[in-house]
Chain A
Amino acid sequence: MADLIRNRRGKRRAIGALGTVLLLVATAGSGAAKAPPLDGGFAWSADVVSSDFRNDTLDLSGNVRAAQGPMSIEAQSARARNFRAPNSHWTFEQAVRIRSAEADLQSNIATADFLNGELSDVRIEGSPARFEQIGTENNRQVRGRAGVIEYDINTGVVKLTNQVWFSNGKDEFRGDVVIYNVRDERVQINPGGSSNRVRGIIRPNQDKSQTNSGGGAGGTAALEPTYNENDGQPDSERVQPKLATDSHGGGA
């Protein structure tokens, strides 16, 4: 099934899509960012730490912070399991904020795995959890909201699931799953198909010459974002033009 994309200037382009995957290259010339350097250890602090001797578990409360290189996780409480082992699992709660050189995530609950002392996977949940890319230009601020956001520190891949709203600074999309790579700035919406339609708003570029030519192989659309001034909130006055995707359940 084809996706229909309309823009204000009357350009219409049908993009063949296999499944419901919509691949956008937000900024073609940005280049892939490098992975943040890690120093092989991490620091942590808290106002109060309590532990049961018999369990390898720490309960931390009050200004909890764990940091490794440019990565930091802040919360009001946390629990660390397998605390002394090279591979430990931490759960953070209350006003959780995760920052790296490339992303800023906020939520009420987050889990993080330290593998051999290095922070690897971060998963946040909330109502909603929020993601924002750091280091992008103001006029193409990438951000998203979702019930669950998983952040792979090593690859820079952010996976948003459950009632996702995602914006590349100009265009907005809603779907069940969004996978975004903060380094090459590629985004996939509902990869692998979904029972729900992808809904989006694609706004025209200010400069006509920058209008994307769209469509790569397999239903890929390339867009040049311009700006986002509504702080991630859908703006009913800026609805036109619209992106309507009517693919279902992975149908093409």
Chain B
Amino acid sequence: MNWRWVSLAAALAAIVIGYGAFMDNGSVPTANHEMPEQPGYYLKDAVVLRTREDGSPGIELIARRIDQRLSHPERGEAITMETVRVNYFGKDDWQWALTANTGLVPPNSRIVELEGDVELRSLAGDGNAFLRTNELAIDTEKNIAYSTRSPVQMRFGQHSMTVKSLRADLTSEKLRLETVNGRFDPQPPR
């Protein structure tokens, strides 16, 4: 079994789950029709940890700041995040970290838009697996992660890839890449 691919899928799925939990836990203030756009809750140096049933850490969301901004009812609420890091702790000895400069959940949307030095990296094993791009979106309803406008740099094992478009179905665990240029390099010396 390809644990690296599985763990990548699991890490992305965990982000979705974590986001869902984060959203569910946040009480949404009732917006008033006459109320202008105003801040909702905010968190500074936030660390949101979700544990498994056995108490072990599952997913950890760290952000320098998280803001909820309320707007008119038709626009719903938006959530912005700065200096985002999501740690996903696997049950085995693998661990993934997703980092981005900013994150945005637009009003009335379940899509998490990550932007700026987005990187998903394996922290366990040889650590020789990562995904880098400038923009990455995660559709929390369809359970799909996809690139938007930026090319994606990927490395898995000894393969490095430049991908124009990425789409990962986290439910079926299938990955689709478009306009791919890859290279197999010999194992780098440790």
B176 surroundings in chain A (CB, below 8 A):
48-50
Number of B residues near A (Cβ < 8 Å) is 27
Q: Which residue of A lies closest to B162 (CB)?
A: A45
Pairwise interchain contact B5-A41, C-beta atoms closer than 8 A? no
Judge if A227 is at the interface, Cβ distance under 8 Å. Answer: no
Pairwise interchain contact B9-A53, C-beta atoms closer than 8 A? yes
Chain A 41-81 interface residues, beta-carbon cutoff 8 Å to B: 41-56, 60
Chain B 126-176 interface residues, beta-carbon cutoff 8 Å to A: 156-159, 163, 173-176
Chain B 1-16 interface residues, beta-carbon cutoff 8 Å to A: 1-2, 4-6, 8-9
Pairwise interchain contact B175-A53, C-beta atoms closer than 8 A? yes
Interface-central residue, B158, B159, B176, B184, by most chain A CB under 10 Å:
B184
A49 surroundings in chain B (CB, below 8 A):
163, 175-178, 180, 182
Known contacts A41-B184, A86-B158; decide if A47 and B174 are in contact (CB<8 Å).
no
Judge if A85 is at the interface, Cβ distance under 8 Å. Answer: yes
Pairwise interchain contact A83-B180, C-beta atoms closer than 8 A? no
Q: How far is the CB of B156 from chain A (nearest CB, A)?
A: 5
Pairwise interchain contact A48-B186, C-beta atoms closer than 8 A? no
Contact pick for B183, options A44, A56, A86, CB 8 Å? A44
Judge if B185 is at the interface, Cβ distance under 8 Å. Answer: yes
Judge if A117 is at the interface, Cβ distance under 8 Å. Answer: yes
Bound-state Cα–Cα, A43 to B185, Å:
9
Judge if B179 is at the interface, Cβ distance under 8 Å. Answer: yes
Q: How far is the CB of A114 from chain B (nearest CB, A)?
A: 7
Judge if A116 is at the interface, Cβ distance under 8 Å. Answer: yes
Known contacts A45-B182, A53-B6, A53-B9; decide if A86 and B177 are in contact (CB<8 Å).
no
Pairwise interchain contact B173-A40, C-beta atoms closer than 8 A? no
Bound-state Cα–Cα, A46 to B184, Å:
14
Q: How far is the CB of A77 from chain B (nearest CB, A)?
A: 13
Judge if A34 is at the interface, Cβ distance under 8 Å. Answer: no
Known contacts A53-B6, A85-B157, A117-B158; decide if A45 and B180 are in contact (CB<8 Å).
yes
Known contacts A41-B183, A44-B184, A114-B184; decide if A52 and B177 are in contact (CB<8 Å).
no
Q: Which residue of A lies closest to B7 (CB)?
A: A53
Q: How far is the CB of A136 from chain B (nearest CB, A)?
A: 31
Pairwise interchain contact B184-A117, C-beta atoms closer than 8 A? yes
Judge if A238 is at the interface, Cβ distance under 8 Å. Answer: no
Q: A14-57 toward B: CB 8 Å interface, digit per residue (1/0)?
A: 00000000000000000000000000111111111111111110
Pairwise interchain contact A50-B180, C-beta atoms closer than 8 A? no
Pairwise interchain contact B182-A53, C-beta atoms closer than 8 A? no
Q: How far is the CB of B13 from chain A (nearest CB, A)?
A: 10
Pairwise interchain contact B2-A56, C-beta atoms closer than 8 A? yes
A50 surroundings in chain B (CB, below 8 A):
174-177
Pairwise interchain contact B180-A42, C-beta atoms closer than 8 A? no
A8 surroundings in chain B (CB, below 8 A):
none
Judge if B187 is at the interface, Cβ distance under 8 Å. Answer: yes
Pairwise interchain contact A52-B174, C-beta atoms closer than 8 A? yes
A sample of 23 cross-chain residue pairs with beta-carbon separation below 8 angstroms, ordered by A number, consists of A41-B183, A41-B185, A41-B186, A43-B181, A43-B182, A43-B183, A43-B184, A44-B184, A45-B182, A48-B176, A49-B182, A51-B5, A52-B173, A52-B174, A53-B9, A54-B6, A56-B5, A84-B4, A84-B157, A86-B158, A86-B187, A116-B186, A117-B186
Name the 3 nearest CB pairs between A and B, nearest first: A84-B157, A53-B5, A53-B173
Known: A51-B177, A54-B6. 16 other contacts (CB 8 A): A42-B183, A44-B183, A46-B180, A48-B180, A49-B180, A49-B182, A50-B177, A53-B6, A53-B9, A53-B175, A54-B1, A83-B156, A84-B4, A85-B157, A114-B184, A117-B186
Residues of B at under 8 Å CB distance from A?
1-2, 4-6, 8-9, 156-159, 163, 173-187
